[in-house]
């Protein structure tokens, strides 16, 4: 890790270049792959030994995982981070589908950035860019959290990949929000819109109630018709939790015992 560069205003910058070399067999096992069909490339697994979620298949081959990140720390509470990374392989074993960001002798470029403010506003984005600098996948998320409310909106775009069960490119916008009505009741609202198909995909409304002993959640969800779900569907959910019971004593349990 590079030392932080301190500026007169108290702002600190940290540059972290990381290089990792993994030695693996250049031979793959001929086993059915059912549980690891959605390998990902992100900041969390850029330096992992294996990027398959299941155990049907293990990532093989000699490879170099390279990345660099720049982090900015502000004493007033602001923070930002930029990450750039890529995987280079000594030999392409064909273990990833051609449309996967991990396919080929060199993976797509991973570009990720995040910004946090003192006002509870946070922004994060992650993109995969191919060697010819075409955008393959991108995701953006904006969150705002306050004392009485929370708002979150996100946008996602991903190219078609038949291996992952996605015959067409997908593009979606979603919104979720929650507002505290009083000390015990909270209202929730959610919306998901399929931009590629130009139609609503899901709508949700719910109410949460919580006191020292009880947590209750009611929700109404409408799943609109789509290519995979030709018939629209409406569902109602109710869950009740008794707080502080079991092997995990809590403040709620003590307060319930005193009542």
pLDDT in tens, 41-95: 998 899 988 888 777 778 888 999 999 999 998 888 889 999 999 999 998 888 8
**245 by DSSP, 3-state: which?**
coil
The reported pLDDT for the residue numbered 1 is 47
pLDDT in tens, 142-180: 999 998 999 999 999 998 888 777 888 889 999 999 999
**251 by DSSP, 3-state: which?**
helix
Average pLDDT over the chain, rounded to an integer: 86
Residue 32 has pLDDT above 70, yes or no: no
C-alpha span between 144 and 121 (Å, rounded): 4
Q: Does the reported pTM lie above 0.85? A: no
C-alpha span between 179 and 189 (Å, rounded): 9
Yes or no: say if 238 and 207 are a contact pair by the CB < 8 Å rule.
no
Closest CA to 144 of 113, 165, 170, 123: 123
């Amino acid at each position: 890790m590079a030392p932080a560069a301190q500026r007169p205003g108290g702002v600190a910058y940290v540059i972290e270049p990381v290089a990792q070399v993994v030695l693996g067999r250049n031979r793959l096992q001929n086993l059915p792959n059912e549980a690891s069909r959605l390998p990902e490339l992100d900041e969390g697994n850029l330096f992992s030994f294996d990027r398959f979620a299941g155990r049907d298949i293990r990532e093989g081959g000699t490879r170099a995982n390279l990345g660099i990140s720049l982090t900015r720390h502000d004493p007033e509470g602001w923070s930002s981070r930029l990450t750039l990374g890529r995987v280079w392989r000594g030999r392409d074993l064909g273990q990833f589908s051609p449309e996967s960001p991990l396919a080929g002798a060199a993976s797509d470029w991973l570009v990720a950035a995040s910004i946090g403010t003192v006002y509870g506003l946070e922004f994060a984005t992650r993109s995969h860019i191919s060697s010819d600098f075409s955008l393959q996948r991108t995701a953006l998320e904006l969150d705002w959290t306050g004392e009485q409310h929370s708002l979150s909106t996100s946008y996602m775009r991903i190219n078609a990949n038949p291996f992952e069960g996605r015959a067409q490119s997908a593009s979606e916008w979603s919104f979720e929000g929650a507002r505290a009505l009083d000390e015990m009741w909270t209202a929730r609202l959610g919306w998901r819109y399929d931009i590629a198909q130009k139609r609503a995909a899901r709508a949700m409304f719910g109410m949460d109630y919580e006191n020292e002993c009880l947590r209750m959640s009611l929700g109404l969800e409408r799943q609109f018709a789509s290519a995979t779900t030709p018939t629209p569907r409406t569902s109602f959910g109710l869950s009740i939790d008794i707080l502080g019971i079991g092997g995990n004593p809590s403040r709620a349990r003590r307060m319930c015992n005193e009542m």
